[in-house]
């Protein structure tokens, strides 16, 4: 088989779609990264992740749980407590693609934001430049 055929097959592979789907939800990688330092309670995650709504946190935790990237551990104590922690699979995502993306964002983030600011129809609130007649 040719390299070209192998690359085309990889692009259509459902494993690649499943992996990239993890990044289509804004808060999923953010919540995963917040758990990188160790097990956390839900309320602590919500307090530490600026701007996340309760609904968005619930959805992100559910996606991470159903993809095997985190665990949910219910402790039987008074008062009851639930901790979330990164699994080995989640750690491999954090230490691989997420770390690479973080390095890229650190290196090129200013350029990305500047490009977004000047792009026609950007979300900066500025109107697009006038079209030539």
pLDDT digits (tens, 9 = 90+) for 60-97: 999 999 999 999 999 888 888 899 999 999 999 999 99
Contact assessment for residue 34 and residue 49, using Cβ atoms and an 8 Å cutoff? yes
Neighbours of 21 (CB within 10 A): 13
Q: Is residue 19 part of a domain?
A: yes
Contact assessment for residue 83 and residue 37, using Cβ atoms and an 8 Å cutoff? no
Any idea what the CATH number is for the domain that residue 95 is in? Answer: 1.10.10.10
Residue span of the structural domain in which 34 resides: 3-118
Q: Is residue 130 part of a domain?
A: no
Q: Is residue 45 part of a domain?
A: yes
Q: How far apart are CA 98 and CA 104, in angstroms?
A: 10
Q: Is residue 125 part of a domain?
A: no
Which class for 51: exposed (0-12), middle (13-18), buried (19 or more C-beta within 10 A)? exposed
Q: How far apart are CA 49 and CA 35, in angstroms?
A: 11
Q: Is residue 132 part of a domain?
A: no
Q: What was the pLDDT predicted at 2?
A: 58
Q: What was the pLDDT predicted at 32?
A: 95
pLDDT one digit per residue (tens) for the chain, 133 residues: 556 656 656 556 688 888 888 888 889 999 999 999 999 999 999 999 989 999 999 999 999 999 999 999 998 888 888 999 999 999 999 999 999 988 999 999 899 888 888 877 666 555 555 555 5
Secondary structure of residue 25 in the 3-state scheme: coil
Q: What is the maximal distance between C-alpha atoms in the chain?
A: 71
Can you name the residues that pair with 85 across neighbouring β-strands?
Answer: 71
Per cent of the chain over pLDDT 90 is 54
Q: What was the pLDDT predicted at 4?
A: 63
Q: Is residue 28 part of a domain?
A: yes
CA angle, 103 as apex, 101 and 109 as ends, to 5°? Answer: 85
Q: Is residue 80 part of a domain?
A: yes
Number of domains in the chain: 1
Q: Is residue 129 part of a domain?
A: no
Q: How far apart are CA 95 and CA 84, in angstroms?
A: 18
The residues, ordered by sequence, that sit 6+ positions from 38 with a Cβ below 8 Å of its Cβ are 85
Q: What was the pLDDT predicted at 85?
A: 97
Whole-model pTM? 0.73
């Amino acid at each position: 088989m040719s390299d070209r055929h192998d690359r085309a097959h990889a692009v259509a592979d459902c494993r690649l779609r499943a992996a990239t789907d993890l990044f289509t939800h804004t808060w999923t990688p953010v919540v995963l990264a917040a758990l990188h330092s160790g097990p956390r309670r839900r309320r602590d995650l919500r307090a530490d992740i600026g701007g996340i709504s309760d609904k968005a946190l619930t959805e992100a935790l559910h996606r991470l749980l159903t993809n095997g990237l985190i665990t949910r551990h219910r402790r039987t104590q008074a008062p009851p407590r639930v901790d979330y922690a990164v699994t080995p699979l989640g750690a491999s995502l954090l230490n691989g693609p997420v770390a690479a993306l973080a390095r890229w964002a650190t290196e090129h983030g200013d350029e990305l934001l500047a490009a977004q600011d000047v792009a026609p129809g950007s979300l900066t609130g500025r109107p697009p430049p006038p079209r030539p007649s």
